[in-house]
Protein backbone atom coordinates (compact mmCIF):
# COMPACT_ATOMS: atom_id res chain seq x y z
CA UNK A 1 0.00 0.00 0.00
CA UNK A 2 1.43 3.42 -0.90
CA UNK A 3 1.96 6.11 1.72
CA UNK A 4 -0.56 8.29 -0.15
CA UNK A 5 -3.20 5.56 0.10
CA UNK A 6 -2.60 5.08 3.82
CA UNK A 7 -2.75 8.85 4.36
CA UNK A 8 -5.96 9.28 2.39
CA UNK A 9 -7.76 6.43 4.12
CA UNK A 10 -6.59 7.60 7.54
CA UNK A 11 -8.06 11.05 6.92
CA UNK A 12 -11.36 9.64 5.78
CA UNK A 13 -11.73 7.37 8.77
CA UNK A 14 -10.68 10.05 11.20
CA UNK A 15 -13.72 12.03 9.90
CA UNK A 16 -14.90 9.84 10.70
CA UNK A 17 -15.37 9.71 14.42
CA UNK A 18 -15.15 6.01 14.99
CA UNK A 19 -16.47 4.37 18.12
CA UNK A 20 -13.62 1.85 18.07
CA UNK A 21 -10.49 3.95 18.49
CA UNK A 22 -7.68 1.58 17.53
CA UNK A 23 -4.17 2.17 16.27
CA UNK A 24 -3.99 0.26 13.03
CA UNK A 25 -0.52 0.36 11.52
CA UNK A 26 -1.05 3.81 10.07
CA UNK A 27 -4.40 3.13 8.40
CA UNK A 28 -7.74 3.40 10.14
CA UNK A 29 -10.78 1.94 8.41
CA UNK A 30 -13.92 1.43 10.43
CA UNK A 31 -11.63 1.32 13.47
CA UNK A 32 -10.12 -1.91 12.12
CA UNK A 33 -6.82 -3.27 10.86
CA UNK A 34 -6.42 -3.77 7.14
CA UNK A 35 -6.58 -7.50 6.60
CA UNK A 36 -4.43 -9.62 4.33
CA UNK A 37 -5.99 -9.82 0.90
CA UNK A 38 -7.36 -6.30 1.05
CA UNK A 39 -5.97 -4.13 -1.69
CA UNK A 40 -5.97 -0.36 -2.15
CA UNK A 41 -5.91 0.79 -5.76
CA UNK A 42 -5.20 4.22 -7.19
CA UNK A 43 -8.02 6.77 -7.16
CA UNK A 44 -10.64 6.63 -9.84
CA UNK A 45 -10.79 9.27 -12.54
CA UNK A 46 -12.03 12.77 -11.90
CA UNK A 47 -15.60 12.03 -12.94
CA UNK A 48 -18.09 11.86 -10.03
CA UNK A 49 -19.68 8.54 -9.10
CA UNK A 50 -23.38 8.97 -9.83
CA UNK A 51 -26.47 6.83 -9.51
CA UNK A 52 -29.60 6.02 -7.55
CA UNK A 53 -29.15 5.07 -3.90
CA UNK A 54 -30.24 1.46 -3.41
CA UNK A 55 -28.94 0.87 0.13
CA UNK A 56 -27.39 2.89 2.95
CA UNK A 57 -25.79 1.90 6.25
CA UNK A 58 -24.71 4.33 8.99
CA UNK A 59 -21.94 3.48 11.43
CA UNK A 60 -20.16 5.81 13.84
CA UNK A 61 -18.54 8.58 11.83
CA UNK A 62 -19.40 7.66 8.25
CA UNK A 63 -21.94 6.17 5.90
CA UNK A 64 -21.87 3.27 3.45
CA UNK A 65 -23.91 4.02 0.32
CA UNK A 66 -24.72 1.67 -2.53
CA UNK A 67 -25.64 3.35 -5.81
CA UNK A 68 -26.86 1.85 -9.09
CA UNK A 69 -26.07 3.24 -12.52
CA UNK A 70 -26.93 1.41 -15.75
CA UNK A 71 -27.37 -1.83 -13.85
CA UNK A 72 -24.01 -1.60 -12.07
CA UNK A 73 -24.02 -1.31 -8.29
CA UNK A 74 -21.17 0.39 -6.43
CA UNK A 75 -20.51 0.70 -2.70
CA UNK A 76 -19.14 4.03 -1.51
CA UNK A 77 -17.98 5.05 1.98
CA UNK A 78 -18.30 8.74 2.85
CA UNK A 79 -18.13 10.90 5.99
CA UNK A 80 -21.38 10.39 7.86
CA UNK A 81 -24.36 12.19 6.34
CA UNK A 82 -28.06 11.77 5.72
CA UNK A 83 -28.79 9.66 2.63
CA UNK A 84 -32.20 8.50 1.41
CA UNK A 85 -32.79 5.31 -0.55
CA UNK A 86 -34.17 6.16 -3.98
CA UNK A 87 -32.53 9.56 -4.40
CA UNK A 88 -30.09 10.32 -7.19
CA UNK A 89 -26.66 11.30 -5.87
CA UNK A 90 -23.16 12.05 -7.13
CA UNK A 91 -20.03 11.43 -5.05
CA UNK A 92 -16.44 12.53 -5.38
CA UNK A 93 -14.09 9.93 -6.88
CA UNK A 94 -11.87 8.15 -4.38
CA UNK A 95 -9.68 5.16 -3.59
CA UNK A 96 -10.92 1.68 -4.40
CA UNK A 97 -10.56 -1.02 -1.73
CA UNK A 98 -10.97 -4.67 -2.74
CA UNK A 99 -11.96 -7.34 -0.22
CA UNK A 100 -12.60 -4.76 2.48
CA UNK A 101 -13.86 -6.35 5.71
CA UNK A 102 -15.87 -4.28 8.19
CA UNK A 103 -15.72 -5.94 11.59
CA UNK A 104 -18.35 -3.51 12.84
CA UNK A 105 -20.82 -4.76 10.23
CA UNK A 106 -19.39 -8.29 10.10
CA UNK A 107 -19.39 -7.96 6.34
CA UNK A 108 -16.86 -8.12 3.51
CA UNK A 109 -17.27 -5.87 0.47
CA UNK A 110 -15.81 -7.18 -2.77
CA UNK A 111 -15.06 -3.61 -3.73
CA UNK A 112 -15.77 -0.26 -2.09
CA UNK A 113 -14.77 3.31 -2.92
CA UNK A 114 -13.62 5.60 -0.10
CA UNK A 115 -14.86 9.01 -1.22
CA UNK A 116 -14.42 12.45 0.30
CA UNK A 117 -18.17 13.08 0.07
CA UNK A 118 -20.87 14.44 -2.20
CA UNK A 119 -19.61 15.86 -5.49
CA UNK A 120 -19.47 19.63 -5.48
CA UNK A 121 -19.42 19.86 -1.68
CA UNK A 122 -16.27 20.33 0.39
CA UNK A 123 -16.04 17.53 2.94
CA UNK A 124 -13.25 18.19 5.44
CA UNK A 125 -12.73 14.83 7.12
CA UNK A 126 -11.03 15.56 10.45
CA UNK A 127 -12.38 19.11 10.57
CA UNK A 128 -15.88 18.01 9.60
CA UNK A 129 -16.02 15.69 12.57
CA UNK A 130 -15.79 18.56 15.01
CA UNK A 131 -18.97 20.04 13.53
CA UNK A 132 -20.97 16.86 13.13
CA UNK A 133 -20.64 15.30 16.57
CA UNK A 134 -20.67 11.52 16.86
CA UNK A 135 -21.96 8.50 18.69
CA UNK A 136 -19.90 7.93 21.78
CA UNK A 137 -18.58 11.51 21.99
CA UNK A 138 -18.97 13.19 25.34
CA UNK A 139 -21.87 15.62 25.56
CA UNK A 140 -20.26 18.75 27.02
CA UNK A 141 -21.90 22.12 27.61
CA UNK A 142 -20.08 25.24 26.34
CA UNK A 143 -18.88 26.19 29.82
CA UNK A 144 -16.32 28.92 30.35
CA UNK A 145 -12.82 27.70 31.11
CA UNK A 146 -10.06 30.06 32.25
CA UNK A 147 -7.37 30.71 29.66
CA UNK A 148 -3.93 29.13 29.92
CA UNK A 149 -1.52 31.03 32.12
CA UNK A 150 1.47 32.91 30.76
CA UNK A 151 2.17 35.17 27.76
CA UNK A 152 1.65 32.32 25.30
CA UNK A 153 -1.80 31.48 26.62
CA UNK A 154 -4.83 32.04 24.39
CA UNK A 155 -8.51 31.22 24.30
CA UNK A 156 -9.85 28.99 21.54
CA UNK A 157 -11.48 32.00 19.88
CA UNK A 158 -8.21 33.95 19.96
CA UNK A 159 -6.36 31.11 18.24
CA UNK A 160 -8.80 31.41 15.36
CA UNK A 161 -8.81 35.22 15.33
CA UNK A 162 -5.03 35.60 15.57
CA UNK A 163 -4.03 32.59 13.49
CA UNK A 164 -2.16 34.67 10.90
CA UNK A 165 0.07 36.21 13.57
CA UNK A 166 0.46 32.95 15.48
CA UNK A 167 1.24 30.75 12.48
CA UNK A 168 4.12 28.37 13.30
CA UNK A 169 4.44 29.77 16.83
CA UNK A 170 4.20 27.96 20.14
CA UNK A 171 0.90 28.51 21.93
CA UNK A 172 -0.94 27.29 25.01
CA UNK A 173 -4.69 26.79 25.23
CA UNK A 174 -6.80 25.51 28.10
CA UNK A 175 -10.17 23.84 27.65
CA UNK A 176 -12.32 20.79 28.13
CA UNK A 177 -11.67 17.74 25.96
CA UNK A 178 -14.81 17.06 23.93
CA UNK A 179 -13.51 14.40 21.56
CA UNK A 180 -10.48 12.13 21.18
CA UNK A 181 -9.56 10.10 18.09
CA UNK A 182 -6.55 7.88 18.66
CA UNK A 183 -4.04 6.26 16.34
CA UNK A 184 -4.86 8.25 13.20
CA UNK A 185 -1.72 8.83 11.12
CA UNK A 186 0.36 7.75 14.13
CA UNK A 187 -0.98 10.52 16.33
CA UNK A 188 -4.02 11.36 18.44
CA UNK A 189 -6.56 14.01 17.41
CA UNK A 190 -8.02 15.96 20.31
CA UNK A 191 -10.85 18.50 20.22
CA UNK A 192 -11.16 21.03 23.03
CA UNK A 193 -13.54 23.89 23.84
CA UNK A 194 -13.33 26.65 26.43
CA UNK A 195 -16.67 28.41 26.03
CA UNK A 196 -15.27 31.09 23.73
CA UNK A 197 -15.87 31.51 20.01
CA UNK A 198 -18.89 31.24 17.73
CA UNK A 199 -20.24 27.75 16.93
CA UNK A 200 -21.84 29.05 13.73
CA UNK A 201 -18.40 30.08 12.47
CA UNK A 202 -16.57 27.06 13.84
CA UNK A 203 -14.39 29.18 16.12
CA UNK A 204 -15.60 27.55 19.34
CA UNK A 205 -13.35 24.48 19.12
CA UNK A 206 -9.76 23.74 18.22
CA UNK A 207 -8.23 20.50 16.93
CA UNK A 208 -4.92 19.45 18.46
CA UNK A 209 -2.64 16.59 17.43
CA UNK A 210 -0.43 14.89 19.99
CA UNK A 211 1.27 11.72 21.11
CA UNK A 212 -0.49 12.20 24.44
CA UNK A 213 -3.94 10.75 24.99
CA UNK A 214 -6.10 12.93 27.27
CA UNK A 215 -9.47 11.76 28.55
CA UNK A 216 -12.74 13.10 27.18
CA UNK A 217 -14.36 15.42 29.69
CA UNK A 218 -11.10 16.48 31.39
CA UNK A 219 -10.00 20.13 31.53
CA UNK A 220 -6.45 20.28 30.18
CA UNK A 221 -3.80 22.73 29.04
CA UNK A 222 -2.24 21.99 25.65
CA UNK A 223 1.08 23.38 24.49
CA UNK A 224 2.03 23.02 20.84
CA UNK A 225 2.70 24.74 17.52
CA UNK A 226 -0.16 26.51 15.75
CA UNK A 227 -0.49 26.18 12.00
CA UNK A 228 -2.77 28.23 9.78
CA UNK A 229 -4.30 26.62 6.67
CA UNK A 230 -2.65 23.27 7.29
CA UNK A 231 -3.14 21.15 4.17
CA UNK A 232 -3.01 17.36 4.53
CA UNK A 233 -3.57 16.77 0.80
CA UNK A 234 -6.49 15.23 -1.08
CA UNK A 235 -8.40 18.49 -0.60
CA UNK A 236 -8.48 18.26 3.22
CA UNK A 237 -7.14 21.07 5.35
CA UNK A 238 -7.68 22.95 8.60
CA UNK A 239 -7.92 26.70 8.81
CA UNK A 240 -6.32 26.43 12.27
CA UNK A 241 -4.73 23.47 14.05
CA UNK A 242 -2.27 22.97 16.91
CA UNK A 243 0.24 20.18 16.31
CA UNK A 244 2.73 18.10 18.30
CA UNK A 245 1.17 19.22 21.57
CA UNK A 246 1.69 18.05 25.11
CA UNK A 247 -1.16 18.00 27.63
CA UNK A 248 -1.25 18.85 31.32
CA UNK A 249 -4.34 18.46 33.51
Single pTM value for the model: 0.50
Alpha-carbon span 155 to 203, nearest angstrom: 10
**Which domains are delineated in the chain?**
3-122 (2.40.50), 138-248 (2.40.50.140)
What is the chain's alpha carbon radius of gyration, rounded to the nearest angstrom? 19
pLDDT reported for residue 179: 82
Alpha-carbon span 24 to 13, nearest angstrom: 11
For residues 140, 141, 143, 147, the Cα torsion angle rounded to the nearest 10 degrees is 40
Alpha-carbon span 209 to 128, nearest angstrom: 15
Furthest-apart CA atoms within the chain: distance in Å: 63
pLDDT reported for residue 128: 38
Note whether 75 and 98 are within 8 A (CB).
no
Per-residue pLDDT of the chain (249 residues; tens, 9 = 90+): 444 444 444 444 443 333 223 222 233 444 443 444 444 444 444 578 999 999 999 876 678 999 999 999 999 988 878 889 999 999 988 778 888 888 778 889 999 888 878 886 554 444 333 333 333 333 344 689 999 998 899 999 999 999 999 999 999 999 999 888 776 667 888 999 999 998 888 899 999 999 999 998 999 999 999 999 988 664 457 899 999 999 998
CA 145 to each of CA 6, 78, 148, 226: distance values in angstroms, whole numbers, following the listed order: 37, 34, 9, 20
Amino acid sequence: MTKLTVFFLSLLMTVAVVSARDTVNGAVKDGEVMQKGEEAKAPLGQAPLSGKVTETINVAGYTYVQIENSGKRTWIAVPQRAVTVGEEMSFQPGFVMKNFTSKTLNRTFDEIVFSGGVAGQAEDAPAKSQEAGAAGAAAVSPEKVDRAAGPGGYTVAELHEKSADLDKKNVSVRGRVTKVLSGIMERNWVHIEDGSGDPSRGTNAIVITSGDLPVEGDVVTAQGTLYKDKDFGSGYKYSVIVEDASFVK
